[in-house]
Chain A
Amino acid sequence: MTDLFMGPPDERGRFGDFGGRFVPEALMSACLELDEAYRDARVDETFARSLERELSLFAGRPTPVTPLERLSRRLDLRVFAKREDLAHTGSHKINNVLGQALLAQRMGKHRVIAETGAGQHGVATATAAARLGLACTVFMGEVDTKRQELNVFRMELLGATVVPVTSGSRTLKDAVNEALREWVTCVADTHYCIGSVMGPHPFPWMVREFQSVIGREAAHQLRELGVETPDVVVACVGGGSNAAGVFAGFAEGTSRLVGVEAAGGSAVGVGSPGVLHGMRSLLIQDEFGQIEEAESISAGLDYPGIGPEHAYLAARGRAEYVTAHDDEVIAALQVLSEDEGIIPALETAHAVAWLLREAGRSIAPGSTVLLNLSGRGDKDVAQVRALIRGES
């Protein structure tokens, strides 16, 4: 392979035709300041040491790679799970927020704001803010504050203020809008801690780099288990941060990279190029360029776009993006729970669902698969119970 995938974007923050920095002038200086601060921090050993220290002593890294033995037998595959569900706060989100919170501190900002869908990123941001003594405000669509009531309370316990967003579709996309509107008013002392590989440059690149610890660790851990190159690496995709993080460890090799979107929120499947939230990427939009609402049982995948680097990987054919339906997802969550003793997040269950569907079809028997187990399902248990009992 001659192409170098998952390197830095170009100077304008582009991955091919995707990415860029489409922000109002009021946010431009903050984006440029962040770009400079991040470029400076990423080559600073002191910063690297602080981040490594937080990741290991606070967040519990490295997370293990677990051979999923019963599932492997069921599917006639060799399935390994990268256990991001075991990271502090229960998902990969902590990797990114610790990086950004340390960076905020380094830039002299004493407050962070964040958007959240399922609440995982909000909880992670509130956690990192508490740990580092930063003030924290989280914007969450009103619909999601109801779907994920316990996560709202969790954030409040951690000292954060949660603002229910009542504009637009009242879900993740509107939470991002509201966070951007808030950021305009407070850029001087506040960092916007974006939760995925999206937004204006340098966010998509920076968040992928903070999440790439997943792929780096997993590649090393698989080698220790005797797997040089997995045949398949699969992860769920909303904005795409856990997928970007795990892909980063394997993009230069020959592994088949698969991102699984919610069938009702498939930016690659049904989207087209557009500009939203500071980036040019693939978006779900109508024939007039109005953004449409994504729909899924998992609040974390309810985003009508995808990170620009994923749009690029899709365009270049380096990664493929597929979908899973809500009913397959519930079934997959039950299989993983019963076979392996791991209750995955609904988001993560999308990746499991694809695996269950494709084993023996597009995945040849005996293949080695790395599943990025991006988050644990505790937050979804009440919703899943209702779905299984047919109550919603």
Chain B
Amino acid sequence: MTSLETALRRVRASGRTALVPYVMAGVTSDWTRLVEAAVHAGADAVEIGLPFSDPIMDGVVIQEAALRSLAAGTTLDSVCAELATLDVDAPLVAMTYYNVIHHYGVERAAHAFAHSSLRGAIIPDLPPEEAAPWERACAQNDVATVYLVAPSSPPARVARLAHATQGFAYAAARMAVTGSASDLGDARRVVNALRSVSDIPVYVGIGITTPDHAREAAQFADGVIVGSALMSLVLDGAGTTRVESFVRDFRRALDSTSTP
């Protein structure tokens, strides 16, 4: 089992609903402080966006964050170097697109991730059918390959994805790109489909924008992912204090429902 999964299973075993905020690396010059603020406010893991020029699963907020980050000169190497200076007590999971990894080299990338505390990776345009080289590289470096499951995934694919995913399964609440929805959509159905074939932790993303959504999702999921709502604040100039209070509001909402 990957160390990411061990850590996240431990969160679940403690009776806590996992909170996973998303921070686009390089979106501001002090982005690593934002990661620290999120963890300080109660994040159990943090998704670290590595920017790509053509993010087809992302809506306007993450697109804009990626453009700002790229304009500032962010690269896979620069992100890994900055993460190496970070000391947070929560696992980090990369979120990027396959070309960034493919171009860098799958083995080099998995190695670089492992040496900068990135313990998993979500690559939405890399389905398991195309992922064999990446999965091998990750296995050698204790990097978890996290797969998304969509509301449109038929039962056989849900089973396949549940089997392939490591760390947690990412249940997309909606047929939508990030940041375009603001409700739980089909989340419960997707989570239940995963539960019927696997006991891996299941986190809900795409549509979680308020603490109320998080509280509702906590009733059936093991964790929630909050991306565009947080990045939207950061794009509008929010600093560590604002990020911390935003994440803490979600933490309180989740804790108000968790059963120890």
| A275 CA / B103 CA spacing, docked (Å) | 9
Q: Is A173 an interface residue (CB 8 A)?
A: yes
How many residues of B are counted as interface, with CB atoms below 8 angstroms from the partner's CB atoms?
Answer: 42
B99 touches which one: A28, A29, A187, A285 (CB < 8 A)?
A285
Q: Chain B residue with minimal CB distance to A167?
A: B63
Contacts of B93-152 to chain A: CB distance below 8 A? 97-104, 124-127, 129-130, 147-152
Give the docked Cα–Cα distance between A174 and B101 (Å).
Answer: 21
Q: Which of the residues A28, A167, A188, A273 comes within 8 Å of B60, measured between beta carbons?
A: A167
User: Interface 1/0s, chain A 5-23, versus B by CB < 8 A?
Assistant: 0000000100000001111
- B157: contacting residue among A21, A29, A174, A283, CB under 8 A: A29
* B200 interface hit (Cβ, 8 Å): no
Q: What DSSP secondary structure best describes chain A's contact surface?
A: mixed
Q: Are B103 and A29 in contact (CB under 8 A)?
A: no
B81 to chain A, nearest CB (A): 14
Chain B residues 146-174 with CB under 8 Å of chain A are 147-154, 157, 161, 172
Classify chain A: how many residues form its interface, as a range: 35 or more
What string of 1s and 0s marks CB contacts (under 8 Å) between B35-56 and chain A? 0000000000000000011111
**How close is A141's CB to chain B, nearest CB, in angstroms?**
13
How far, in whole Å, are A274 and B52 apart by their CA atoms in the complex?
13
Q: Say whether chain B's binding surface is mostly helix, strand, loop, or mixed.
A: loop
Distance (whole angstroms) from the CB of B130 to the closest CB of chain A? 6
| Inter-subunit contact A275/B98 (CB<8 Å) | yes
28 contacts between A and B (CB under 8 A): A21-B129, A21-B130, A22-B127, A23-B125, A24-B148, A25-B124, A26-B57, A26-B172, A28-B152, A28-B153, A168-B67, A177-B56, A181-B57, A185-B175, A274-B99, A274-B102, A275-B97, A275-B98, A276-B99, A277-B54, A278-B125, A280-B102, A288-B75, A288-B104, A289-B52, A289-B101, A290-B53, A290-B100
Instruction: List 18 additional contacts besides A177-B54, A177-B56, A285-B99; criterion CB under 8 Å.
Output: A21-B130, A23-B127, A25-B127, A25-B153, A26-B148, A26-B150, A29-B157, A168-B53, A181-B57, A185-B180, A187-B175, A273-B102, A274-B99, A275-B99, A276-B54, A288-B75, A288-B100, A291-B53
Closest 3 CB pairs of A and B: A289-B103, A26-B150, A290-B53
